[in-house]
Amino acid sequence: MWEKLKALEEHFLFLEEKLSDPEIIKDQPQWQKYTREHAELFDTIDNYRRLKNIEQELQEARDMLLQEKDSLDGEMLVYLKEEISRLSGEKERLEEHLKVLLLPKDPNDEKDVIMELRAGTGGDEAALFTADLLRMYLRFAEKKQWETEVLSNHPTDIGGFKEISFSVKGRGAYSWLKFEKGVHRVQRIPSTESGGRIHTSAATVAVLPEADEVELEINPQDLRIDTFCSTGPGGQSVNTTQSAVRITHLPTNTTVTCQDEKSQFKNRDKAMRVLRARLLDKMISEQQKEQAQERRSQVGTGDRSERIRTYNFPQNRVTDHRIGLSLHKLDQVLEGELDDIIEALIAYDRTERLKEEAR
């Protein structure tokens, strides 16, 4: 750990020097790159320097206690022992914190996100549950002061969604939302159920880090683009112009449809954003499969066949099955109060990765 920290501090000093270089300041792309690196390292280097200061203070206190023990009065002796205990505790705390900071970072954590919600088993009730999940995520994003934009949706006649995709823009959006991918299950009495029986329905959530054009270049020759008239619930036509767009990436047979906008250009732009995100997600999933035997933590694997969470309405309970966490505040969770769940998932994932690093 120490050698790595020394190397990072040297790189940090190099970045500080470059950020004040007039030639680098003129080269804005390079200056911004150095600025991002500097910001990413700041917390680690700040804690490393605090640790070095504390180690020095701790050594001085121990030397004084050892060398002048016989000449110290009782009050100073007690003070020194208490100071050594305090500094030792602070040193241990900083070392543990630095271990966390040195864990390999997910390169996608700072990215914006495209989320895709799809109704699963349960018919109309699953579509209504999908609408509930949508509202939950939009409220959560609002509390985080993130921007959201609906990219495409297929509503049902009773207010649900067969599927809907939307973007979330904000610092660290992917780092928070990536743990939401998977199958979400709901247990409740549908409004259409006259016998009062509890039904179980499901919806799937996909969380895709948004890729930019530079990061993921797509060959135009690999695309088939079709246009058609957009439709509403039940298949009825909502306009008579060829504004809806369907883009198929031929090498992977990935298809994206967007018809929300009246402008064909805007629909095409949104569809391309979703396509890039899906292709990046596919690349990430393939990498994770290759690393699956090495990685033992199941949090955030992105397996959409995995039932990750159950929302039980009769008991006002939400349970995350990956970490065995149950909270009796489902009503608050559906209002976007997801912090307790996601923070617990982040902590669990961090603990598992620390175990792997220690092996």
Residue 293 to residue 6: CA distance in whole angstroms = 32
Among candidates 269, 270, 281, 221, which has minimal Cα distance to 249?
221
Other CB atoms closer than 10 Å to residue 58's CB: what's the count?
A: 17
Residue 293 to residue 138: CA distance in whole angstroms = 35
- For residue 226, the model assigns a pLDDT of 82
pLDDT tens sequence for the chain (359 residues): 888 899 999 999 999 999 998 988 888 888 988 888 898 889 999 999 999 999 999 999 898 888 877 777 778 888 888 999 999 999 999 998 898 888 888 878 888 999 999 999 888 999 999 999 999 999 999 999 999 999 888 999 889 999 999 999 998 899 999 999 999 999 998 876 666 788 899 999 999 888 765 557 788 888 888 887 766 554 444 555 678 888 888 888 888 888 877 788 788 888 888 888 888 888 777 766 654 544 444 444 434 456 899 999 999 999 999 999 999 999 999 999 999 999 999 999 988 888 877 66
**Whether 198 contacts 121, CB under 8 Å:** no
Residue 36 has φ and ψ, to the nearest 5°, of -65, -45
Query: Length of the chain in residues, anyone?
Result: 359
- For residue 302, the model assigns a pLDDT of 38
- For residue 110, the model assigns a pLDDT of 84
Tokens of 58: 């701790």
Rg (CA), the chain: 26
Contacts of 298 by beta carbon, 8 Å cutoff, 6+ apart: 306, 322
- For residue 298, the model assigns a pLDDT of 40
